[in-house]
Amino acid sequence: MPTGKVFLVGAGPGDPGLLTLRARDVLREADILLYDALAADAIVALAPASCERIFVGKRGGGAAVPQEETENLMVLKARAGKCVVRLKGGDPFLFGRGGEEAQALHAAGIEFEVVPGISSAFAAPAYAGIPVTHRDHNTVLTIVSGHEDPAKDRSAIDWERLGDPHQTLIFLMAMSNLRDITQRLVRSGLPATQPAAVISGGTLPSQRTVTGTLASIADDAQREGLSAPAIVVIGTVVALREQIAWFEKSPLFGKRVLVTRPEIRQDEFARELLRAGAEPILAPTIAITPPDDPRAAEQSTHDAARYSWVVFTSVNGVRVFFDYLDARRDDARIFGKAKIAAIGLKTSQALLRRNVYADAIPHRYIAEDLADLLIASSREGDAMLIYRAAEARDVLPDRLNAAGRPATVVAAYKTVFTADPLFAERVERSDIVTFMSASTVNGFIRNLGGAEAARAACAKKIVACIGPVTAQAASDAGLPVHVVAQEYTAEGLIEALRAEAVTS
């Protein structure tokens, strides 16, 4: 059996959006994933479902997996012919013991590759509005480990050299020794008034930043309850935070947003929330499943050219349609001369990814407006194939049939309600509840045991809906509706939430 390969991959500082493209590609090919506690769940999830995930870090103050055991696992799995990804927080070669792991792989004769990551030493200050270098403030940047190897009989840090006030000092893994570190720096010649900052949870919606002086920062951080993972920045550049802090000023920064849409559609919305500084809480209330009669859904893809129009009412419908085509090695030629309609921007974009341009997209992404546009764009007698969810409203086919455009409705998929024993706990943690369809409203109510419990759960929260149809479903159930997107997309909903946060 040929020997496999090990990839030492930096996961970055926490924000999944800061993962490198190379790291993403490697993760998608992993057979074995060895990861630590600093690797975000969204990054770990990039590994394929078939990948064996092995946690080799330390959680909740428990015992850490011994380094020798991690290195032995890498060698053992690679010798079994596997593609092994060792995923490490930040950069693997910056206080990440990646060098030691590379040496162990070299000694064992295992091929390896290093995929650098963005270090929290740079990213966390940037997200806190602190440039680690600035020509008006420093000419030297020093990155120091705040937690040396306990087996050493004396410190390897040159404390006297760190006493130069014309530099920026970055301490990683320093929270447990912060008071001792600041006192040693003062003894080394740094003024007690030197600006200092502690950044906890850097680049994440949970980020918290405390500033002070070298004399006060240990007490300041303790008073505010800051904890690891955190970095310490010492230098006059800390004062620039007042002018250029940006991440924590986002209207949605730190808001916890309940995402109730199906798991298959969560990633995109969650990424947009993270970019806005919010923390997504994933709590799907429905799932997408095959229809009761999948034969009809498949057969209609053979018959598409018989229709004047093929109408897609969701991204899911597009995905299912082309999955059937892919399975039999067909492509968009199956449409023949039929024109294509999409209910909205996301559906049209899903078609475009298949090199299919929608001929009709309504200004408002609702069935009523799509029906009006199709009637105006067609002739009496034009046959319409509507590829949709099994439980979708009948507004579209009813209007088309009434206007002499015979409509064939095909259930491409159906939505089913999901049950989550931790659902009430997730709702309780959230500040904002989002609904992306009437089905997610109904699933929310079912998970909480009825409309009365759902109303109570939403009493002190912001309820946001993707459009008027979803908002009506929420209102009919007695739920308060505070925000309705003007553009019926995930991005439109986030923009509406931003506007609500600014004005409230």
* DSSP states along 357-380: --SB--SS-SHHHHHHHHHHHS-T
Instruction: Based on the fold, state whether residues 152 and 268 are members of the same structural domain.
Output: no
Instruction: Based on the fold, state whether residues 140 and 239 are members of the same structural domain.
Output: yes
Q: What is the Cα–Cα distance from 334 to 387, expressed in whole angstroms?
A: 15
Instruction: Based on the fold, state whether residues 207 and 231 are members of the same structural domain.
Output: yes
Residue holding tokens 């509507």? Answer: 386
Instruction: Based on the fold, state whether residues 130 and 237 are members of the same structural domain.
Output: yes
Instruction: Based on the fold, state whether residues 427 and 482 are members of the same structural domain.
Output: yes
Instruction: Based on the fold, state whether residues 407 and 308 are members of the same structural domain.
Output: yes
Q: What is the Cα–Cα distance from 288 to 265, expressed in whole angstroms?
A: 10
Instruction: Based on the fold, state whether residues 340 and 407 are members of the same structural domain.
Output: yes
Write the CB contacts of 319 (distance below 8 Å, at least 6 apart in sequence). Answer: 350
Write the CB contacts of 356 (distance below 8 Å, at least 6 apart in sequence). Answer: 332, 335, 340
The tokens describing 503, both together, are: 């004005």
CA distances from 305 to 39, 275, 343, 353 (A): 48, 42, 20, 20
Options 15, 31, 36, 91, the catalytic residue: 36
Overall number of domains in the chain: 4
**Residue 29: how many CB atoms within 10 A of its CB?**
13
Residue holding tokens 């986002």? Answer: 250
Q: pLDDT 10s per residue in the chain (504 long)?
A: 678 999 999 999 999 889 999 999 999 999 999 998 888 888 998 999 899 999 998 754 556 788 999 999 999 999 999 999 999 999 999 998 999 999 999 999 999 999 999 999 999 999 999 999 999 999 899 999 987 655 565 677 889 999 999 999 999 999 999 999 999 999 999 999 999 999 999 999 999 999 999 999 999 999 999 998 899 999 999 999 999 999 999 899 999 999 998 876 667 788 889 888 999 999 999 999 999 999 999 999 999 999 999 999 999 999 999 999 999 999 999 999 999 999 999 999 999 999 999 999 999 889 999 999 999 999 999 999 999 999 899 999 999 999 999 999 999 999 999 999 999 999 999 999 999 999 999 999 999 999 999 999 999 999 999 999 999 999 999 999 999 999 888 899 999 999 988 776
Of 249, 276, 304, which residue sits at a domain end?
249
pLDDT tens-digit profile of 57-76?
875 455 678 899 999 999 99
Options 58, 158, 292, 326, the catalytic residue: 58
Is residue 58 annotated as part of the catalytic site, yes or no? yes
Q: What is the Cα–Cα distance from 79 to 112, expressed in whole angstroms?
A: 12
Q: First CA to last CA across the chain, in angstroms?
A: 63
| CATH code for the domain of 136 | 3.30.950.10
Instruction: Based on the fold, state whether residues 261 and 317 are members of the same structural domain.
Output: no
Is residue 292 annotated as part of the catalytic site, yes or no? no
Options 173, 303, 330, 359, the catalytic residue: 173
Of 118, 146, 171, which residue sits at a domain end?
118
| CATH code for the domain of 53 | 3.40.1010.10
pLDDT tens-digit profile of 9-45?
999 999 988 999 999 999 999 999 999 888 888 899 8
Instruction: Based on the fold, state whether residues 157 and 223 are members of the same structural domain.
Output: yes
Is residue 175 annotated as part of the catalytic site, yes or no? no
Q: What is the Cα–Cα distance from 95 to 497, expressed in whole angstroms?
A: 39
pLDDT tens-digit profile of 306-345?
999 999 999 999 999 999 999 999 999 999 999 999 999 9
Q: Where are the beta strands (DSSP E) in 366-479?
A: 384-389, 407-417, 432-435, 462-465
Parallel, antiparallel or unpaired: strands 5-10 and 83-88:
parallel
Q: What is the Cα–Cα distance from 492 to 313, expressed in whole angstroms?
A: 18
Instruction: Based on the fold, state whether residues 399 and 454 are members of the same structural domain.
Output: no
Task: Look up the domain containing 21 and give its range.
Answer: 5-118
Amino acid identity, position 291: P
Q: What is the Cα–Cα distance from 330 to 327, expressed in whole angstroms?
A: 8
Q: What is the Cα–Cα distance from 137 to 160, expressed in whole angstroms?
A: 20
Of 376, 395, 412, which residue sits at a domain end?
412
Instruction: Based on the fold, state whether residues 297 and 375 are members of the same structural domain.
Output: yes
| CATH code for the domain of 448 | 3.40.50.10090
Contact 235, 167 (CB under 8 A): yes
- The predicted structure's pLDDT at residue 41: 81
Instruction: Based on the fold, state whether residues 221 and 363 are members of the same structural domain.
Output: no
Please state the separation of Cα 113 from the chain's center in Å: 26
Q: What is the Cα–Cα distance from 65 to 96, expressed in whole angstroms?
A: 14
